[in-house]
Amino acid sequence: MVPKLRLTTRIRQQVSRVAGELAGVSIVLACLAVSGLAQEPAVHYWHQGIMPPGAIGSRQLQRGGPLAGFFQPVEIKAPQGVSISLAVADHFLPPQEAGAGTMYPWSAGGSRVGLLIGSVYRLRVTNIPRAEGVEIFPTIEVIDRTFAPVDQQVRFAIPVEIAQQDLELAMEGKFVTRVIYLEDPHNALPVRNSESQSWFEVTPGHDPLAVADELGRPVAILRMGARVPDQGPDPNFYFGSPAWVKYPPRTAAQAKPVRETAPARPAAAPAAPAAPAAKQP
């Protein structure tokens, strides 16, 4: 016969109390640990600019917020005469010449489209000045959105500029990455933007996304160059041809002339009063 262990009531109470205390401490520690893991700083530092197109936007969507399915207005700018085509159903649309019918002062032309956040859009750039016949296939990835007033979303579209210098570098085989960021107004440059968008140069070895994150909030990435992709039925080249929305171009009333006034400086101090002339005898 197996002897039956019988605990006294006092021992059972002590064991229950110790177990309860341990459980309570465990719950508190588990809550702290889980809450600590759930803290996500509002930066992109764990991303890198060299990540493949679409990776950063996809990770951005996983962070939640009103990003998924939002068509972020984007204004694509290019030098005068350059033709730009967007892909639809794994085919490029007929090219549209930049600058036709627009009077936007920052560039010769521009077109405004709505792009999904997290998707990658393949463009075809042709009719490049001094390089007719050459085609460049940039990609645009929108990784964040703006929260413009209800009736001002298209007006404050994110400008994505395809500069002539970038096109020439891409034709030389270089890989150009432009991270467009929303400037922090407290760290803004005290200069007035001219015809082209202000940009900083980041040397190889540095992460342009991290640099842009220090200066503001990255919202879009433009990549171009490095190699000529194989065109064909491969849908990966078009990244699935995600849907996009076309907005009407800027009208003449919306376009503003470039101001030529000089920057405001303090007015010159009034000239010192001239010394009184000596009295003539």
Partner 1 sequence: MAIILLGVLILCSCRGNAPPTTNTWSPSFNPQPTTTAPNPVVDPQGGYPGSGLNDRPADDQAGYAVVPAEYIAPQPQPQPQVQAYTAAPIDGPCIMGMPGMEAGVPVPYTAAGPWIPPGIVPPWPADEYLRDGGNVGPPVAVGKNGELLGLQMEDTVARYNTLDGRTLVEPSNKVDLYSPRFNAVRQVVDAEVDQQRHRASGIALPVKPVMPRTSEPVALNAQNLRAVRDIGTNPAGQLRARVTHATLDSELLPRAFDNGFRPFENVSVIRSGIYLGSDAPVLARGSQAAIAWGSAEGVHVILDERTAAALVAKQKLQETYAIDSAPNPRLRIVKAASTPVAEPGDEVSFTIRFDNVGNQPIGSVQIIDSLTTRLEYVPDSAQCSLKARFSTQPNEGESLVVRCVLSDPLPVGKGGVFRFRCIVR
Footprint of partner 1 on residues 202-221 (CB under 8 A)?
A: 202-204, 206, 208-209, 211-212, 215-217, 219
- Told to check if 155 binds partner 1 by CB under 8 A, we report yes
Q: Site residues for partner 1, window 5-24 (CB under 8 A)?
A: 19-20, 22-24
Q: Containing H/E element for 92?
A: strand 91-92
Q: How many CA atoms lie within 13 A of 109 on its CB side?
A: 16
User: 214 — phi, psi (to 5°)?
Assistant: -75, -30
Q: Containing H/E element for 14?
A: helix 9-38
* Least distance from partner 1 to the Cβ atom of residue 36, Å: 9
Q: One symbol per residue from 163 to 202: x for binding partner 1 (CB under 8 A), - otherwise; what is it? A: ---x--x---xxxxxxxxxxxxxx-xxxxxx---xxxxxx
* Least distance from partner 1 to the Cβ atom of residue 256, Å: 5
Report DSSP state, residue 90: T
* Least distance from partner 1 to the Cβ atom of residue 162, Å: 11
Q: Site residues for partner 1, window 64-123 (CB under 8 A)?
A: 66, 68-71, 86-89, 93, 105, 113-114, 116, 118-120
CA dist., res. 189 & res. 184, Å (int):
9
Q: How many CA atoms lie within 13 A of 15 on its CB side?
A: 6
Q: Site residues for partner 1, window 27-46 (CB under 8 A)?
A: 27, 30-31, 34-35, 37-38, 40
Q: Site residues for partner 1, window 244-263 (CB under 8 A)?
A: 244-248, 256, 258-259, 261, 263
CA dist., res. 150 & res. 148, Å (int):
6
